[in-house]
Structure 1
Amino acid sequence: MSKNNASFVKGTAILASAGLFAKILGAVYRIPLFEILGEEGIGYFQMAYPVYSSLIAISTAGIPIAISKLVSERVTQKDPKGAAQVLRVATTLLLVTGFIFSVALFLGAEYYANNILKTPKAVYSLKSISPAIFLAVLMSAFRGFFQGHQNMIPTALSQVVEQVVRVMTIFILAIVFVPMGVEYGAAGATFGAVMGMFGALCVMLYFLYKHRKSFAEAPSRNLVVKYRNRDVLRQIIVLALPISVASMVLPIIHLIDSLLIPRRLVEAGFTEPESAALYGVFTGAAMVLVNVPTLFTTAMAKSLVPSISEANSYKNSTLVKSRTGIAIRLTLLLGLPSAIGLFVLAEPLGLMLFNTADVAISLSIVCFSVIFLTLHQTTGAILQGAGKTYIPVTNLFIGAFLKIILNYTLTAIPEFNIRGPAIATVICYLVSSSLNLYMIYKVIGFKVTIKEYIYKPLITSGLMGAVVWGTYNILVSTEIFAFISNVHIRLQVTVETLSAVSIGVIAYGFLLLLFGAITQREIEEIPLIGKKVIPYLKKFNLLR
């Protein structure tokens, strides 16, 4: 692997590691917070986040990705002042949109709580979180700027600081204000988002100050194209608009699903409570597990856009194809084992995490969408980096349209019921990712071959699945951990499942080395442990 490609892999690994830490911390803190606020307080706390997330998505509107692409192009042209101009113009735009939406939420909180949510006490949480929009929008510009320089450390560190400060503030303010009433405790907790964003913004400003001289250097050559501010603004909007539309497709589809699926389940013969329960298990359990592997591909997408854009600016088709190939191979090395692992352990995972085996009904089907969902994210980022931002949007629309038709048709058939949406989800991402791959071939000239990209990941993933299945069934049949059931049967399932997963991860790593599916250079780029394990792998002749 070339130095440039290794840097791309390292950037992905850094972002994925930071994202994983933030996700874990973001999941764990909810357990004690529930004890502090109770069911009612948690309700007020949660009511603030959907509108907050939606307003951030609308106000940023794909601009951070546009910034990273344009900055990457300016850096390629040896034009640091041009890169700084992109940041300046984008920041001005985002300051305006962020301020408008922050003020709108603060002033409209009472109306929204009373008339939309029908929960007047949620007003305090809504007002409390409103300043975070302004800070989040501003910070997104800085993250896009550093990603354009292919420096992922500021983004990763800011994510970690954001979550740590947020969680600390949540607990402190929730404890301080909850004696005044759970609605005030919830408002204190939601203010954690403001402090978290402020902490992350401080990190980004520190890195901007630290690198201020290199960002302001004079161009080293005279082949730099100069742009007026309004031209840069137009470029940002043209690039951001398709990305913004794409970011809104899935939320709209999820909204349609929430209206369509329960009604079609009733048509299939289920009662309304039964339909609600089936829909809840599908969206709140099965799809939650499906989305876990996307943590990696989301991080890789952020790294891919400027990486492909840079290579494209150099007119270096070989480098574009090389980075495309690495990204797709890494995606398949993650997506295939994730799908097979979820399939093999669908029932025990449901029992372990959600205390219901019913998760397996839909998870055993929708798990295969992991392969195509992760592939869709990666291929979409490649096309965005190549300047074809409208193509992934169009392909996702096609997949989503098929999903709606299949949801409507299959869900009402009693034999399919909730399996219908699971099948529809797989088809949606299969179609969109396949169309993206076809367009990558047309635009870049890169073609995914079975022998080079699919054979080894498929074989190693299949063998790993067999190991996981065998391990779990041996543990269950021999009742090695049966004594734990005296404490709680769910704890026994958890120990058995995690044991099988751990052995599966080790087996998969060994199989990747055995089949030569991962190289020494790629292992070296794994944060913290990569270079340390190389001597041991060489000692046992496991490197190809």
Structure 2
Amino acid sequence: MDSSKTKTGRNLVVQGSILALASIIVRLIGIVYRIPLTNIVGNEGMGYYGFAFEVYQILVILSTSAIPVAVSKLTAARVAKREYKNAQRIFRCSIIFAAVLSGTLALITFVGARQISSFMFGGITEVAPALRVLAPTVFVCAVMGVFRGYTQGLGNMAPTGLSQVVEQIFNAIVSVAAAAILISRGAAYGAAGGTMGTFMGAVSSLVFLYFVYSANRKGLNQRMKKDPTKKLMEDKEIYRLIGLTVIPLILTSTIYQISSLLDSALFSNILKAIGYQSSFISSLYGIYSSKYQLLINLPLGITSALSVAMMPGIAGAIALNRKDQVREQMDMVIRMTMLIAIPCAVGVAVMGGPIMQMLFNDSTTLPGRMLIVGAVTIIFYALSTLTSTILQASNHMRVPVINAAISLGVHIVFTVVLLAFANLHIFALIYGNIVFSFCMCVLNLRSLSKLIDYRLDIQKMCGATFVASVIMGVVTFLVYKGCIYVIHSNILSTLIAIIIAVVVYALFMVLTRGVTEDELYMFPKGETLVRILYRMHLL
């Protein structure tokens, strides 16, 4: 076993695990608070909430989402060369850059909320109150993103993970309380109350990150005193680097998210043109945004954590021209992503309906059917996001932008045809997302092969995982049906089936050598895990 490779892999997995654990906690809190929020404002209110968030997500991407990745990449490259003073200058300039950009967008959104809502969603102006509440959140999130990116660039994911948990706790409490207070004024204001939690959550996270930064300032100052760097970067050069790094990231993320915004706009406008009422359109989209996407995005948050954890390592290795280390990290993170994404997709397809019934007391078949159809997007989105990050970290910044633009064009045509002529309603959006994410996967993998001679070994990366996941899915379905027959409780049957699913998947991965001993060593407490498996004669 290569000790240096194992150490590198273990650090990646540990840092990724910190963010993944935080992501799981955040999304579980999200599921928990969405239940009372949905009950308070109803499907119509959640539709307004979902429409407002589509616009908000675009604003966040334009001013915020690329900042943590860009700051992380630029900081990691300087830290790898022990240029701590330049890393600090990058941090300072990034805050100014983020504040100016996000502040401008926030002001425009707040003033023009009603006009934006009317234009985007076929005259549904009830979205405006929620959008006005979300506008200042854009500014807070941008500054918060700089703090997160800086700590990530230093190789520490814990502040980001903890701040995400703090943010979601405040978000949950304030969202439910504000929605309950404002719902008396109508569904639109109930939705606005729900978005108020997003603002307060972002503020609490920023305050937390500032205290973390202040607590570590002494150590950072000591590093800078020992920094031998003689030539410091000028502000003009830093802003240029930030711009060159941020713009491709923003474009890629914007195209990813704009597909969702376009979906909501096309869905509302086309269905309204056909003759459907606004309340029906909003209710149907509310099921899609607050129930379907909530479950689909849970595993995607976990796989995205590995992408974030990978960025500083690849950026640092490239700065030091260590090509072998770059390839090792690529192999490792793709493998780990597939270990999570494939079983999650199978699990969501098999257990989506029972989980919806357990969480939202929704016994209708629509959410379950939506999840059966759309579960495969978990795999495609996880892999497309990851390969985009790899290309960007490898300094091929524009390639994912081009690939995303091509995929978006195919997606729009496909979705419009299905909405207008196939009478598929909400399923048109789901099929469109499958097409978009699949195209991104194919184009990104083709680019990796062409630009850096990296070819995905599907058998090695996915073969055993796919077999174990299918077996897990069959066993889980049978266990659930058996439990329902015996105990007649959906909640208990669902929980038992999920626990059995985890155990069955883990056992089959070990027994079929789908996960190797070396890979097990990379996990936190890997030595203990391997020792236990040897005692059980499973290794």
The two structures have a TM-score, normalised by structure 2, of: 0.84
Task: For residue 341 of structure 1, report the CA deviation from its aligned partner.
Answer: 2.4
Q: Is residue 320 from structure 1 mapped to residue 326 from structure 2 by the alignment? A: yes
Call closer, same or farther: CA 1:232–1:275 in 2, change over 3 Å: same
1:454 matched residue in structure 2: 462
The superposition leaves residues 50-85 of structure 1 with CA deviations (integer Å, 9 ceiling, x where unpaired) of: 554443333226222111111111011110111111
Identity of aligned residues (%): 28
- Does the 8 A contact of 2:15 with 2:309 survive in 1? yes
Residues in 1 aligned to 2:179 and 2:292: alpha-carbon distance in whole angstroms:
31
Q: Is residue 244 from structure 1 mapped to residue 244 from structure 2 by the alignment? A: no
- Does the 8 A contact of 1:16 with 1:300 survive in 2? yes
The superposition leaves residues 456-512 of structure 1 with CA deviations (integer Å, 9 ceiling, x where unpaired) of: 212212221222233234335xx1023xxxxxxxxx334333322221111001112
1:206 matched residue in structure 2: 211
Q: Is residue 407 from structure 1 mapped to residue 415 from structure 2 by the alignment? A: yes
Call closer, same or farther: CA 1:503–1:152 in 2, change over 3 Å: same
- Does the 8 A contact of 1:266 with 1:275 survive in 2? no
Moved more, 312-321 or 342-351: 342-351
Aligned partner letter, 1:142: F
Q: Is residue 196 from structure 1 mapped to residue 192 from structure 2 by the alignment? A: no
Aligned partner letter, 2:449: Y
Residues in 2 aligned to 1:515 and 1:401: alpha-carbon distance in whole angstroms:
41
Task: For residue 300 of structure 1, report the CA deviation from its aligned partner.
Answer: 1.7
1:485 matched residue in structure 2: none
Call closer, same or farther: CA 1:97–1:408 in 2, change over 3 Å: closer
Residues in 2 aligned to 1:93 and 1:525: alpha-carbon distance in whole angstroms:
38
Extract unaligned runs of 5+ from structure 1.
483-491
The superposition leaves residues 434-459 of structure 1 with CA deviations (integer Å, 9 ceiling, x where unpaired) of: 22122223333322223421222122
Call closer, same or farther: CA 1:452–1:151 in 2, change over 3 Å: same
1:443 matched residue in structure 2: 451
Call closer, same or farther: CA 1:65–1:348 in 2, change over 3 Å: same
- Does the 8 A contact of 2:25 with 2:165 survive in 1? yes
Call closer, same or farther: CA 1:446–1:225 in 2, change over 3 Å: farther
- Does the 8 A contact of 1:44 with 1:186 survive in 2? yes
Q: Is residue 501 from structure 1 mapped to residue 498 from structure 2 by the alignment? A: yes
Aligned equivalent of 2:479, options 471, 483, 497: 471
Moved more, 103-112 or 65-74: 103-112
Answer with 1 or 2: which has the greater Rg: 1
The two structures have a TM-score, normalised by structure 1, of: 0.83
SS in 2 for 1:29: helix
Aligned partner letter, 1:208: Y
Aligned partner letter, 1:510: L
Task: For residue 379 of structure 1, report the CA deviation from its aligned partner.
Answer: 0.8
Aligned equivalent of 2:91, options 87, 91, 102: 87
The number of equivalent residue pairs is 526
1:369 matched residue in structure 2: 377
Call closer, same or farther: CA 1:261–1:108 in 2, change over 3 Å: closer
2:162 matched residue in structure 1: 157
Aligned partner letter, 1:402: V
2:260 matched residue in structure 1: 254
Residues in 1 aligned to 2:404 and 2:227: alpha-carbon distance in whole angstroms:
41
- Does the 8 A contact of 1:320 with 1:444 survive in 2? no
The superposition leaves residues 291-349 of structure 1 with CA deviations (integer Å, 9 ceiling, x where unpaired) of: 33211122122212222111111111111011000111111112221222233345545
Task: For residue 107 of structure 1, report the CA deviation from its aligned partner.
Answer: 5.1
Q: Is residue 300 from structure 1 mapped to residue 306 from structure 2 by the alignment? A: yes
Where does 1:106-117 land on structure 2 (aligned, <5 Å)?
A: none
SS in 1 for 2:486: coil
Residues in 1 aligned to 2:299 and 2:189: alpha-carbon distance in whole angstroms:
36
SS in 1 for 2:365: coil
Q: Is residue 4 from structure 1 mapped to residue 8 from structure 2 by the alignment? A: yes
- Does the 8 A contact of 2:148 with 2:159 survive in 1? yes
Residues in 1 aligned to 2:54 and 2:271: alpha-carbon distance in whole angstroms:
26
Task: For residue 104 of structure 1, report the CA deviation from its aligned partner.
Answer: 4.3
Relative CO higher for 1 or 2, CA cutoff 8 Å, sep ≥ 6?
Answer: 2
Residues in 1 aligned to 2:259 and 2:476: alpha-carbon distance in whole angstroms:
34
1:488 matched residue in structure 2: none
- Does the 8 A contact of 1:336 with 1:461 survive in 2? yes
Extract unaligned runs of 5+ from structure 2.
none
Task: For residue 280 of structure 1, report the CA deviation from its aligned partner.
Answer: 6.5
1:167 matched residue in structure 2: 172
Q: Is residue 386 from structure 1 mapped to residue 397 from structure 2 by the alignment? A: no
